[in-house]
Amino acid sequence: MNKKSMDKRIYSENIHFGEHSFFERLISRTKAYKEFQTMAAFVTSVYRGSDYPFIIVDSDMVLQYMNPACREFSHIKEGDIQETTTCSSLFKSDLCEQQCPLKQAMKSKQMVTGIQVSVQDRKGVKHTIIVNAGPIIARDGEVLGGFEIWRDALPDVVAQEKNRKLRKDASAHISRLESLTKELEKNGGSSEVCLSIRDELQRYTQEFDSNFTDCWDIMDCPSERQVKCPAFPHNGKNCMEVPGTMCQGQKHPDVDLKVYECMSCASYKEHKERCSLGVKRNENPSATTAR
């Protein structure tokens, strides 16, 4: 018996063609069948050996491929996937209906980077993952489907919870110190002491604003999005003025167009509030603003 070449073995093990299947459509668009075989063998062997879960869907969101890492992560067996199985029916994501990264990528024909998603595995256990999604586009521009690459977001979730607690505690300390200083002034405390406390409090507030109020902290942006965003690492407080920011996982090149989204952004609202508080403190150093 003749041994098959490595690429043909990988190819036959990982790609299954059926009538009117997604990959059959890809082949029908490829002039050089053998070249496609080699290309498909290479690509599928990479994702078959990857530790990152990976899926491919067609334009109707029907699953066409799932690598072993995804099956292991989600406890899905071969028999769980039928010809018409959609990704939403398997993973039950919290973003399936309204903000699906795959749908967003296929609609815009652009990558969607670093979206935090909650999914449910076959055992009913919920997981938080970071998703990168992209479209699969034919040479004529038709969107044939899309793909997603996942990673476990547990380290991100732990860091976000710690960051939120630090921000909450620091804000509470600032508010408490302002109240105590006001009480001291009312009860005839030394003006020099009160002024010294307020100077120290102002320095603490500025340090807090410097370390905990960048947009990527407020919006819980994962590292995948941060490193691609021009606001990182020096413009986290004026990101609304920076073109090309990676808001919602996609590039926003035009500042004039994205300004309407900025108006409803949690980061923009927090910075606007802090600027307002800063003006009030500067205008009236003895004023206390409860947060």
Note the pLDDT of residue 286: 44
CA dist 103 and 106 (Å) reads 5
Task: Point out the least confidently predicted range of 79-88, 135-144, 207-216, 270-279.
Answer: 270-279
Note the pLDDT of residue 283: 45
What are the sequence ranges of the domains in the chain? 6-152, 155-283
The residues near 180 (Cβ < 8 Å, ≥ 6 apart) are none
> 6-152: which CATH topology?
Beta-Lactamase (3.30.450)
Pairing of β 112-120 and β 63-66: unpaired
- Which amino acid is located at 214 in the chain? D
The sheet that has 126-137: what strands, in order across it? 63-66, 54-58, 143-152, 126-137, 112-120
CA dist 105 and 241 (Å) reads 25
Note the pLDDT of residue 28: 57
Pairwise pLDDT comparison (50 vs 44), residue with the higher score:
50
Decide if pLDDT at 83 tops 80.
yes
Residue found by looking up tokens 């036959």 in the block: 12
**Tens-digit pLDDT profile for residues 133-146:** 999 998 889 999 99
Note the pLDDT of residue 10: 39
pLDDT above 90 coverage of the chain, percent: 25
Pairing of β 143-152 and β 112-120: unpaired
Residue 130: band (very low, low, confident or very high) from pLDDT cuts 50, 70, 90: very high
Ramachandran category for residue 147: left, alpha or beta (phi over 0 → left; psi -120 to 50 → alpha): beta
| 3-state SS class at 271 | helix
First to last CA, the chain: 78
Decide if pLDDT at 281 tops 50.
no
**Taking residues 224-253, what's their average pLDDT?**
90
The most confident of the ranges 39-48, 84-93, 210-219, 281-290 is 84-93
**Tens-digit pLDDT profile for residues 4-14:** 444 444 344 44
Decide if pLDDT at 278 tops 60.
no
